[in-house]
Structure 1
């Protein structure tokens, strides 16, 4: 077989290994239309190029593509290439410090080798897309890696964090990071305060992973816990409002970092939201353009009445 034919077959073999976690030699030979011996030779060619192809002997054994010491070139089909390019373009304006520049470099490499037809598809997506989300607080990528590894390996993390009594050192058992779109939060067990807490990553300083391993505890759902902490805990008032609309309809208007939407009976829902100013909250609720009922606090009804009088006077 010619060199071009061998190269094409090796690339097809790589694509097959990336498509599924494990292949038997016979299955690969059947897919490629070659012998088992040719499969073994092509596997060796991939290994020489830096692809970590692992082999398992015996009945049920076969080949699988593993992780190596460096990242080898990847093969992407059309849909994967378009999805990757679009994601990189979005990441170039993200909230991870340094990630934007890295995303642009990766996008430039991908754009250089992308067929013109796919390049046109990607540009069409971006040409027809705008974003309403403003820039968030940037997070150091090294901090993200440190916390991600600590969550994975169940080791305590130590960092300095501001509080009511000034900045102090905190030691926590991290569980999960949650991104709200504008900010990043860590849900963790606070060893000093003996309870679950959330921490904003942009407020952490001098974060280091210790060598102290911990046994993972039973914990609440991280997304729900962080959402509750973000939308309720920082505010003076906590309001519950029944909205005469489905939960999905209200979630389209209320971001998760602003309020929590709970299903209610008869196709309605309950909006739980924190506020420092009830007058301002009454305005936002009125702008939902759905029929609503204030469940609590009573002071919100008074704020709504004041708003109604002002609007009536304005209309008159």
Structure 2
């Protein structure tokens, strides 16, 4: 790297670290003349960085907001702090930012030296978060390994415990990570079962990227696949229920991860959802506050009659 290029990068880092600098302050920090500072400011502007200059007392050089986010220059302490915060956010403690935090963490981790990466792990391992939004915490290293493997189309092996407690070893082609806000899932192709699977990350262990790559298959839509899988496949009973209300009205009650909702004309919709106990499912089905009918299965239809009779007796 040339001396001028290195100085321009150092100048960019200074401008990102403080709101306003005078030309004299920058010249002193960089060990150059104010004329050299002006030339370096012009180079930054040519590269697309909006550096503003204001004259007079209290004025100076200021890095403004541009149309695109410029690359950030972080010192080691800042990089460690940012990575720790992103790990916490990716774990679900900040609603709605899990996937974005994971993408940012993946980019930062890619360029972070091994020494700093170990510092991040040490800080995270010795930190306890109270009141996290998820009841199924995921090891950040598992998140990072699967994020990188999905991006690079790299084979993965992992241990997995299914909903019935069965333990198995999986050979996977990872495609995409999906978060519901409470849990993380991986859309992947299971090489031993020759089929697509959605796996909960908190049930995975000993996740290893093998280094070998695979040719991408035509994959299903990750969000739709995971939504269908977690709303029905883990449960003994899967109900189909017609609600006599528009889809958007019923959707206010059922989170996207708990049920699949499909329009059935302008004034009705069909909800597909699962449960292990039909009677416990009935009050949940009644939550939208509109008329509905259970189409299948018979066990849930019978449970509606039983619960309705019980409520009628309580009313008398």
* Class of the TM-score when normalised by the shorter of the 2 chains: 0.5 to 0.7
Correspondence for 2:239: 239
CA distance in 2, matches of 1:157, 1:92: 21
Residue 189 (structure 2) aligns with = 189
Q: Deviations over 1:264-292 (max 9, x none)?
A: 11321111101111111122112321111
How many residues align? The count is 228
- 2:66 aligns with none
Distance apart, 1:254 and its partner CA: 0.6
Is the partner of 1:302 in helix, strand or coil?
A: helix
Partner residue in 2 for 1:147: 146
What do residues 53-75 of structure 1 show as CA deviations (whole Å, max 9, x unaligned)? Answer: 8xxxxxxxxxx9557797898xx
The aligned residue for residue 92 of structure 2 is: 94
Cα distance between partner residues in 1 of 2:223 and 2:235:
19
| Cα distance between partner residues in 2 of 1:184 and 1:40 | 49
Indicate if the aligned counterparts of 2:184 and 2:201 stay in contact, CA closer than 8 A. Answer: yes
Q: What pairs up with 1:158-169 in 2 under 5 angstroms? A: 158-163=157-162, 166-169=166-169
Question: What is the TM-score of this pair, normalised by structure 2?
Answer: 0.61
> What do you get for the CA RMSD once the two structures are aligned?
4.0
Partner of 1:136: 135
1: CA distance, partners of 2:91 / 2:188 = 28
Matches within 5 A, 1:225-264: 225-264=225-264
The C-alpha deviation readout for 1:42-61, integer Å capped at 9, x for no partner, is: 155799xxx998xxxxxxxx
Q: Provide structure 1 residue ranges, at least 5 long, that are not aligned to the other structure.
A: 1-9, 16-36, 54-63, 74-86, 104-131
Note if contact 2:232-2:274 (Cα within 8 Å) is conserved in structure 1: yes
SS across alignment from 2:170: strand
- Tell me if the contact between 2:241 and 2:272 (Cα under 8 Å) persists in the aligned partners: yes
- Cα separation, 1, equivalents of 2:166 and 2:301: 37
Show structure 2 runs of 5+ residues with no match. 1-10, 17-35, 50-68, 79-84, 102-130
User: In 1, distance between residues paired with 2:212 and 2:74?
Assistant: 27
TM-superposed CA distance for 1:169, in Å, is: 2.1
1:226 alignment partner, SS class: helix
Q: Is the 8 A contact 2:154 2:210 kept in 1?
A: yes
Asked if 1:297 corresponds to 2:313, the answer is: no
Aligned equivalents of 2:132 and 2:227: distance in 1? 18
Shift, 1:41, TM fit: 2.5
Residues 262 and 139 of structure 1: CA distance in aligned 2, closer, same or farther (over 3 Å):
same
2:227 and 2:38 mapped to 1: Cα distance?
52
1:93–1:217 CA distance, 2 compared to 1 (3 A): closer
1:135–1:197 CA distance, 2 compared to 1 (3 A)? closer
Per the TM alignment, residue 135 of structure 1 is displaced from its structure 2 partner at its CA by 3.6
SS in 1 for 2:150: helix
Which residue of structure 2 aligns with residue 24 of structure 1?
A: none
- 2:285 maps to 1:310: no
| Residues 10-49 of structure 1 mapped to structure 2, 5 A cutoff | 41-42=40-41
1:219 is aligned to: 219
